[in-house]
């Protein structure tokens, strides 16, 4: 677990978490500033730390919320919870409703796209703007080989939970420009043991490639909700060197959000908020 202030990565993320009881345990979230909320939803294998620059830039003039999905960051990491897409959407929805968030600027990345846009599709009246970065919210026809191998029974658990082969590899493979040591330490801090890496593996296993996958219907429901959000001011900010959420995914979002502003960052990878933070922060400001 991670907590408190100190030197190194803690100085980059000094905010103490609050907690909300959700299905499966306690969800941790940072809640700083005041005004119309900016809700930043992370993916796998990151946590609220990934969005730290949003809080630095926009709080206290705006209210910035950085939740950690169950199993991630400073949230509880139950070992028997199902870790399905529907459960993550339900938990984020509970946070939005419990805090009565309205006029939300939603900022998403990776699995945060399906989770955050899933909540927005259920409650479009609460959302005012979208900033979508290197993610998906609809089924895809393919999966990168280096992720597929992490889904192999037995081997995947050993690699992801035993050797930290997913989060540990991501701090090198998900960025084009490299990360400072304190940033790498911050991204990895919540995932120091087999038990801590439960969600890292479950997210990988929950990618619904087959029609009969338990989360396929939930992902299709998220996709079905996107037309109800297409009228919102939207920015698509894409690291074009992302080997996971490739430009194919950007093209799919452009098809679904034809009025969106599109910012292609040629030299950024999957961790676009690390490689090109100003592009994302400018999109939020605009």
280 token code pair: 């994302």
Instruction: Give the residue from 22, 69, 12, 29 showing the smallest Cα distance to 45.
Output: 69
Nearby residues of 188 by Cβ (< 8 Å), 6 or more positions away: 164, 167, 168, 171
Within a domain: 116: yes
Is 180 exposed, middle or buried (CB count within 10 Å of its CB: 0-12, 13-18, 19+)?
exposed
Asked if residue 279 lies in contact with residue 265, where contact means CB atoms within 8 angstroms, the answer is: yes
Quickly state the pLDDT bin for 158 (edges 50, 70, 90): very high
Helix (H) or strand (E) holding 255: helix 247-256
Structure confidence by residue, pLDDT tens digits, 24-83: 999 999 999 999 999 999 999 999 999 999 999 999 999 999 999 999 999 999 999 999
Nearby residues of 65 by Cβ (< 8 Å), 6 or more positions away: 29, 30, 31, 37, 38, 39, 40, 95, 99, 101
29 token code pair: 């979230």
Within a domain: 85: yes
Within a domain: 171: yes
Instruction: Give the residue from 205, 155, 195 showing the smallest Cα distance to 72.
Output: 195
Rounded mean pLDDT of the chain?
96
135 token code pair: 């993610």
Q: Provide the CATH number for the domain around residue 45.
A: 3.40.50.1820
Structure confidence by residue, pLDDT tens digits, 82-135: 999 999 999 999 999 999 999 999 999 999 999 999 999 999 999 999 999 999
Within a domain: 8: no
Number of domains in the chain: 1
Instruction: Give the residue from 168, 165, 164 showing the smallest Cα distance to 195.
Output: 164
Within a domain: 1: no
For tokens 């080989």, the residue is: 145
Within a domain: 5: no
Domain ranges, residue 261: 16-285
Q: Is the pLDDT of residue 258 over 60?
A: yes
pTM for the model stands at 0.96
Strand partners, 105: 38, 129
Percentage of the chain exceeding pLDDT 90:
95
What per-residue string of b and e applies to 63-99 under the rule 16 or more CB within 10 Å gives b? Answer: bbbbbbbbbbbbbbbbeebebbbbbbbbbbbbbbeeb
Within a domain: 126: yes
Under DSSP, is residue 278 helix (H, G, I), strand (E, B) or coil? Answer: helix
């Amino acid at each position: 677990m991670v907590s408190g202030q100190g030197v190194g990565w803690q100085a980059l993320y000094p905010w103490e978490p609050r907690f909300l009881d959700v299905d499966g345990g306690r969800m941790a979230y940072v809640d700083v500033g005041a005004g119309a909320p900016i809700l930043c939803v992370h993916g796998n294998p990151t946590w609220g730390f990934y969005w730290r620059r949003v809080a630095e830039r926009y709080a206290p003039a705006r209210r910035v919320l950085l939740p950690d999905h169950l199993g991630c960051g400073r949230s509880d990491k139950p070992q028997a919870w199902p870790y399905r897409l529907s459960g993550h959407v339900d938990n984020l929805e509970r946070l939005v409703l419990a805090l009565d968030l309205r006029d939300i600027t939603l900022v998403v990345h990776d699995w945060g796209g399906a989770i955050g846009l899933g909540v927005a599709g259920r409650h479009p009246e609460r959302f005012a703007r979208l900033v979508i970065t290197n993610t998906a919210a609809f089924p895809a026809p393919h999966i990168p080989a280096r992720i597929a191998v992490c889904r192999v029974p037995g081997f995947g658990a050993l690699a992801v939970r035993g050797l930290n082969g997913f989060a540990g590899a991501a701090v090198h493979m998900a960025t084009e420009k490299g990360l400072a040591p304190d940033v790498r330490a911050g991204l990895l801090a919540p995932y120091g043991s087999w038990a801590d890496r439960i969600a890292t593996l479950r997210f990988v296993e929950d990618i619904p490639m087959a029609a009969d996958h338990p989360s396929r219907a939930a992902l299709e429901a998220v996709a079905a909700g996107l037309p109800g959000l297409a009228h919102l001011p939207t920015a698509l900010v894409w690291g074009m060197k992302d080997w996971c959420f490739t430009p194919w995914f950007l093209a799919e979002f452009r098809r679904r959000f034809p009025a969106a502003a599109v910012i292609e960052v040629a030299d950024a990878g999957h961790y676009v908020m690390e490689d090109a933070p100003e592009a994302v922060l400018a999109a939020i400001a605009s």
